[in-house]
Amino acid sequence: MNGRTAAPRGEADEAPAGSLHRARLLVTTIARGSRRGSLLIELVARTGLPRPTIHRVLDTLIDMGWVERDPVTLRFNLGRDLAALGYSAIGRQPIERAAATELSALAVALDQVVFLNIRSGLDSVCIGRYDSLSQIQVGRGDVGLRTAFGVTQSCLAMMSRLPEEEVWEVVRINLSRFHRVERYDETRHRAAIEFALAHGYSAFDGMVLDRSTSGMGVPICDAGGYPVAAIGTTFISAWLDESGRAACRARLEAAAARIAQRLFALPGSGAD
């Protein structure tokens, strides 16, 4: 016996884990918020954490450089130090490394912006954006952008290879987040999901954010057919007629097959 009073069982272990969980929750909530940043009242509403707890955790995250607060708008956003860590992680992603050259060439060939996205639970994260040489760049996504899984052409492409019951469960859980997107149309969105499930790729005319644009996406699948990522592109709807869209889809699918072959050494994937 050393005379010390033992802490209640689990208390010493759970406190750090609890603090880490709250920090992760706040960082994720800020990442999911507006590009302008999140107000304190929004963080309280979306996390359910008490205001004093949020203050305390944010102070720590600000000291670490993981969160910044705009002195004018008082909005919180992710910090530069966290961004540097994120870019370091993206640079180590085997999918991005395998896809970078392929998708850069694809963007030039299509004369359209091409995106590479992966799934993170109920979120989608853009890990690659490849611009064309065109002066008109259609597409709002940037590397590191985190959105609700299910609302972009890349998300729908991944959903096209997931079990249908899982897809609709994700939609149910994320529906309130979808409705926070400006001009979101639930009826048209559900129709686009049904199309993806039926055809194995996504084609979304009149995208959620802009009725004049269209999107298309194809999944990158492992040897078991599970979608590990997706390639997406957006374009002015009037740019491509039916044959142009078929050619665009063929190029996307060929690129996805070659990327999958490099990642998983799949035979007969068209990587010649």
Please indicate, yes or no, whether residues 79 and 104 belong to a single structural domain of this protein.
no
Please indicate, yes or no, whether residues 72 and 100 belong to a single structural domain of this protein.
no
Instruction: Establish if 77 belongs to a structural domain.
Output: yes
CA 35 – CA 45 distance, rounded (Å): 18
Domain-ending residue, one of 84, 107, 141: 84
Query: Per-residue pLDDT tens for 26-66?
Result: 988 887 777 788 899 989 988 889 888 998 999 999 988 88
- Predicted confidence (pLDDT) at residue 208 exceeds the cutoff of 60: no
Please indicate, yes or no, whether residues 67 and 163 belong to a single structural domain of this protein.
no
Instruction: Establish if 4 belongs to a structural domain.
Output: no
Residues of the domain holding 151 = 93-264
pLDDT at position 11: 32
Mean pLDDT for the chain?
83
Q: How confident is the model over 69-78, as a mean pLDDT?
A: 89
CA 65 – CA 82 distance, rounded (Å): 7
32: CATH: 1.10.10.10
Order of strands across the sheet with 114-120? Answer: 146-148, 123-130, 114-120, 227-236, 213-221, 202-205
- The first and second tokens of residue 85, run together, are 């860590």
Please indicate, yes or no, whether residues 45 and 128 belong to a single structural domain of this protein.
no
- Residue partners of 215: CB distance under 8 A and separation at least 6: 152, 153, 202, 203, 204, 207, 232, 233, 234, 235
- Across 38-47, 143-152, 158-167, 203-212, least confident range: 203-212
CA 226 – CA 135 distance, rounded (Å): 36
What one-character-per-residue DSSP string does 166-224 give? HHHHHHHHHHHHHTTSTT--HHHHHHHHHHHHHHSSEEEES-TT-TTEEEEEEEEE-TT
Domain-ending residue, one of 62, 84, 106: 84
pLDDT at position 18: 74
Instruction: Establish if 142 belongs to a structural domain.
Output: yes
Residues in the chain: 272
Q: Which residues of 159-180 are buried (b: 16+ CB within 10 A; e: fewer)?
A: bbbbeeeebeebbeebeebbee
177: CATH: 3.30.450.40
CA 253 – CA 224 distance, rounded (Å): 17
Question: CA neighbours within 13 Å on the CB side: how many for 124?
Answer: 30
Instruction: Establish if 131 belongs to a structural domain.
Output: yes
Please indicate, yes or no, whether residues 64 and 151 belong to a single structural domain of this protein.
no
End-to-end CA distance of the chain: 71
Please indicate, yes or no, whether residues 23 and 112 belong to a single structural domain of this protein.
no
CA 101 – CA 166 distance, rounded (Å): 33
Please indicate, yes or no, whether residues 116 and 242 belong to a single structural domain of this protein.
yes
Query: Per-residue pLDDT tens for 230-259?
Result: 999 988 888 888 999 999 999 999 999 999
**DSSP at 239:** G
Please indicate, yes or no, whether residues 41 and 145 belong to a single structural domain of this protein.
no
Please indicate, yes or no, whether residues 98 and 71 belong to a single structural domain of this protein.
no
- The first and second tokens of residue 27, run together, are 């960082």
Phi and psi angles of residue 101, each rounded to the nearest 5 degrees, phi first: -65, -45
Residues 232 and 215: beta-carbon distance below 8 Å: yes
- Predicted confidence (pLDDT) at residue 67 exceeds the cutoff of 80: yes
CA 261 – CA 59 distance, rounded (Å): 46
Query: Per-residue pLDDT tens for 93-148?
Result: 678 888 989 999 999 999 999 999 999 889 898 989 998 877 666 666 678 788 89
Please indicate, yes or no, whether residues 169 and 147 belong to a single structural domain of this protein.
yes
**DSSP at 143:** T
Instruction: Establish if 160 belongs to a structural domain.
Output: yes
Please tell me the total count of domains within the chain: 2
Please indicate, yes or no, whether residues 155 and 211 belong to a single structural domain of this protein.
yes
Domain-ending residue, one of 61, 84, 107: 84
Please indicate, yes or no, whether residues 110 and 132 belong to a single structural domain of this protein.
yes
